[in-house]
Structure 1
Amino acid sequence: MIEELPVDAPGIGVFKASGKLTDADYKQFIPRLDELIKEYGKISLFFELEDFHGWEAKAMWNDFKLSQSYPYNFERIAIIGNQAWERWISLLAKPFTHAQVRYFNSDQRDKAWDWLKQNALSTLHQKTSTETAYQHVLISIDLSTQAAHVLKRGLALATREAAQVSLLHVVDAPIFEDDSTDYIFPRESRETTRKVGIAYIQLQRLAELAGAENVKIEILSGRAKVEIPRYAEQHNVDLIVVGAHGQSNLTGVLGSTATSLLAQAPSDVLVVEAQT
């Protein structure tokens, strides 16, 4: 089971895991994480393992999906345990999250708290710091009818800020689960390669029509909501410009990609309203 501990620590989720984790445990745990992320944007986790026996197969899949759904929402994760094999959990977690992950023995709880609180204070300070001019603007477009409008707005802002500009499009290459093997894999194909080539030509044409000079064009494949913030973090982007459109619920107002970026992006996000 996963139990939340009653500790007042802004920006830090405090949980204890015991026994063997099940799908039902994650169905209770994930909504609480959602609440913390909505409140603080980015959070750290204090995760204590007590009489821990691992995961059921479906629970392990839920754990992987959790890391993919919130790749940029965790700052630091402290795992506290008392068994040698539990140390490997922190090592196995690192490839699947951008968070800093550290393991502490059960007698190092105070050290774990100090490590997490130090980062929480730093994060709060960054949120209250004075705004500065943007240095690197990433304009992400989906080649819809609104693409030229989004590009124009992004270029105007970047010119005003004298910022570096990157123009990005993500070709959808979803990840599929193989029920027979419990593995996941990206669906790369000749079709994906063909779409990447076409997209690059289209972005070049859009940039030429907009009179954009010294713009770096990037084409990636994968999921836009994952690849855009990942690119932004890797290339020190401090503003992402994206269009607003969508099909349902909140995403009907902002678009699924824009909605995800507002919650997960490591930088400011400007959502450009659709042109009518």
Structure 2
Amino acid sequence: MIQFIDTKKENLIAAKLSGKLNEENLKTIHKQIHRIIDKGHKVDFYFEMEDFEGYTIKGFWEDIKTDVAHIKDYGKIAFVGNEKWQEWAAKATDFFTGSEAKYFEAKNKEQAMTWINL
């Protein structure tokens, strides 16, 4: 499930993620990405992961397709969570993309918000 967080920053997609993300969830994020890049901006992300289990198979595939299509459109990505695998996912994102991705433990959520300018 995705619960978007309202923000005044026009190039930021901020959301709380929980459960498993499916294909429709990722299509919703994809629309948000286009809304931002159509204005000529790089897309920043802020994701709070609470009880986040990952993706359905179709959701994972949709995420890969979106990332491949927009890899050069991404700016900073802040991941906030409490699971080791989430930290590894953030490191992989940082390594495989041209974006700057950082993982923050949930107790450091305010630091993540400052880093992403939320």
What is the match of residue 48 of structure 1?
48
Residues 227-242 of structure 1: matches in 2 within 5 Å? none
What is the match of residue 108 of structure 1?
108
Structure 2 distance, partners of 1:38, 1:109, is: 29
What is the match of residue 26 of structure 1?
26
Q: CA deviation at 1:40?
A: 4.5
Structure 2 distance, partners of 1:72, 1:86, is: 22
Contact (CA 8 Å) 2:94, 2:102: kept in 1 or not? no
Q: CA deviation at 1:57?
A: 1.4
Superposed CA offset, 1:186-239 (max 9, x none): xxxxxxxxxxxxxxxxxxxxxxxxxxxxxxxxxxxxxxxxxxxxxxxxxxxxxx
Structure 2 distance, partners of 1:11, 1:37, is: 8
- Looking at both structures, which has the greater relative contact order when contacts are Cα pairs under 8 Å and sequence separation is at least 6? 2
Which of the pair has more CA radius of gyration? 1
Residues 41-190 of structure 1: matches in 2 within 5 Å? 41-117=41-117
User: How many residues are matched?
Assistant: 118
Corresponding residue SS for 1:39 = coil
Residue ranges of structure 2 left out of the alignment (5+ in a row): none
Structure 2 distance, partners of 1:18, 1:71, is: 24
Q: Which amino acid is the alignment partner of residue 12 of structure 2? A: I
Structure 1 distance, partners of 2:97, 2:58, is: 19
Structure 1 distance, partners of 2:10, 2:24, is: 27
Q: CA deviation at 1:69?
A: 0.8
Superposed CA offset, 1:4-34 (max 9, x none): 1112223222111110111121122211221
Contact (CA 8 Å) 2:27, 2:62: kept in 1 or not? no
Contact (CA 8 Å) 1:4, 1:14: kept in 2 or not? yes
Structure 2 distance, partners of 1:75, 1:62, is: 20
Residue ranges of structure 1 left out of the alignment (5+ in a row): 121-276
Structure 1 distance, partners of 2:10, 2:29, is: 18
Q: Classify 1:29/1:37 alpha carbon distance in 2 versus 1 (closer, same or farther; 3 Å).
A: same
Corresponding residue SS for 1:51 = strand
Q: Kindly, what percent of the aligned residue pairs are identical? A: 27
Aligned structure 1 segments of 4 or more residues deviating by more than 2 angstroms: none
TM-score (norm 1): 0.40
Structure 2 distance, partners of 1:26, 1:69, is: 13
Q: Which amino acid is the alignment partner of residue 75 of structure 2? A: E
Structure with the bigger percentage of strand: 2
TM-score (norm 2): 0.88
Superposed CA offset, 1:227-260 (max 9, x none): xxxxxxxxxxxxxxxxxxxxxxxxxxxxxxxxxx
What is the match of residue 148 of structure 1?
none
Corresponding residue SS for 1:6 = coil
